[in-house]
Amino acid sequence: MPPVIIHLVAAQSGTGKTTIVEKLLPALKEKGLLVAALKGNLQHYDFDLPGKDSWRFARAGADIAGVTTPENYVLTGSEKGKSGIEAAASILKDFDLLIVEGNKSSRRPKIEVLRSNINFDPLLNENTIAVVSDRLDLQIDIPVINIEDSEALANFIMAKYFENKKTNQVGPDKLTHFDSRGRPRMVDVSTKDQTLREAYARGEILMSAETLTKVKAGSMSKGDVLGVAQVAAIMAVKETGRLIPMAHPLGVSGVEVDFEPVDTPQPKIEIGVRVKLTGQTGVEMEALTGVSIAALTIYDMCKAVDKNMIIQNIRLVEKKGGRSGHYCREQL
């Protein structure tokens, strides 16, 4: 889905459009939007002038040319039959919002900036969706937003274009694995503190009494069932970041696996996996994955004699560390 494109325009220069965009961007970023900002409607720019290296690269056929510094980059490009904004939008297709400063003749949505000491009345060109002004007494049919209130402007944009989209704000009703447009993403944990994290998960595999007897005796044809399942659980914990799409690859510091055979009333093997690390995200998925793969390994080792085995009741029992604190489902 292409980004939403909004032009910030004014009747003439000096209204502070650049400053408004500068203050608006952090407010939008805090709401989880991926935002690009462009200066619109320029006739040329320095590194695009004939003779410049980037101009020569483009003339030679580069789809995108540009210049870089040790910390930044600027790119230039074009697509046949498309305007500069359209070409940029196609490159920035994964962004949520593209703010273009300028180009009041555009037919796209526009937010007009009005300062009473520069132009007293708004232009209200086609597709103007709001006015940002120091004149809050304007009698017009579209919203008038205080020119100093960046948060109000960000809220207006969110409500108009992203009302039904998830954001990265953490709360009881927010799914942080979705971005502002509902697309899946890996959560950024770079700002979280490094703390001791621990998770313990359990599950069980039901089987016949004869199968359980063979497992405990080590007489299965494939070998030591619980020994192999223990290794499988540890391997699965270490591979969780590769198996679960939005899970982070983690440097796990410890894994403990326990098995408890139960004879009556229903023969089964209860499985427990405890995972520890010091890091910026929890290890619940690692513990749950370890239990799951241990159970599947037991099934694989025993299926030749018992295809009626049932894997069930895989659950998180306890977690420690992180912002949500200590959680315990049941008495340990």
Could you tell me which residue, 169 or 3, shows the higher pLDDT? 3
Chain-centre distance of CA 158, in angstroms?
17
Tell me the mean pLDDT in the region 241-250.
Answer: 88
- Indicate the pLDDT class of residue 195, thresholds 50, 70 and 90: confident
Are 305 and 210 in contact, with CB atoms under 8 Å apart? Answer: yes
113 exposed, middle or buried (CB, 10 Å; 0-12, 13-18, 19+)?
buried
Q: Which of 242, 225, 331, 330 is nearest to 289 (CA)?
A: 242
73-87, 182-196, 274-288 — which is least confidently predicted? 182-196
- What span, in angstroms and rounded, lies between the C-alpha atoms of 99 and 38? 6
Give the separation between CA 287 and CA 321, rounded to whole angstroms: 14
Average pLDDT on 199-205 reads: 96
How far apart (Å, rounded) are the C-alpha atoms in residues 58 and 266? 73
Percentage above 90 pLDDT, the chain: 49
Between 93 and 210, the higher pLDDT residue: 210
Is residue 197 within 8 Å of residue 283, measured between CB atoms? yes
Question: In terms of pLDDT, which residue wins out, 40 or 4?
Answer: 4
Average pLDDT of span 194-200: 89
Q: 289: pLDDT confidence band, cut at 50, 70 and 90?
A: very high
Top CATH class, 4-161: alpha beta
DSSP classification of residue 72:
-
> CB–CB of 133/120 below 8 Å?
no
Asked if the model's pLDDT at residue 37 lies above 80, the reply is: yes
Q: What per-residue confidence (pLDDT) applies to 171?
A: 45
Query: Among 45-59, 208-222, 276-290, 297-311, whose mean pLDDT is lowest?
Result: 45-59
Residue 167 has pLDDT above 50, yes or no: no
Catalytic residue set: 300
- DSSP code string of 213-273: HHHHHT--TT--HHHHHHHHHHHHHHHHHHHSTTPPP----EEEEEEEEE-SSS-EEEEEE
Q: What is the pLDDT of residue 191?
A: 66
For residues 30-59, give the mean pLDDT: 78
Q: Which two tokens stand for residue 21?
A: 């965009």
Count how many Cα atoms sit within 13 Å of the Cα of residue 51 in the half-sphere of its side chain.
1
Phi, psi values for residue 292, rounded to 5°: -60, -45
> Rounded CA gap, 249 and 175, in Å?
20
- Burial (CB count within 10 angstroms: exposed 0-12, middle 13-18, buried 19+), residue 330: exposed
Closest C-alpha to 162, from 31, 21, 50: 31
Angle between helices 284-302 and 209-217 (to 10 degrees): 100
C-alpha to C-alpha distance for 110 and 212, rounded to whole angstroms: 71
d(CA 157, CA 29): 12
Instruction: Tell me the percentage of the chain whose pLDDT exceeds 70.
Output: 87
Domain ranges for the chain: 4-161, 195-328
pLDDT for position 168: 44
**Total-model pTM:** 0.49
Kindly tell me if the per-residue pLDDT of 174 is higher than 80.
Answer: no
CATH number listed for the domain at residues 195-328:
3.30.70.640
> Which pLDDT band holds residue 190 (cuts at 50, 70, 90)?
low
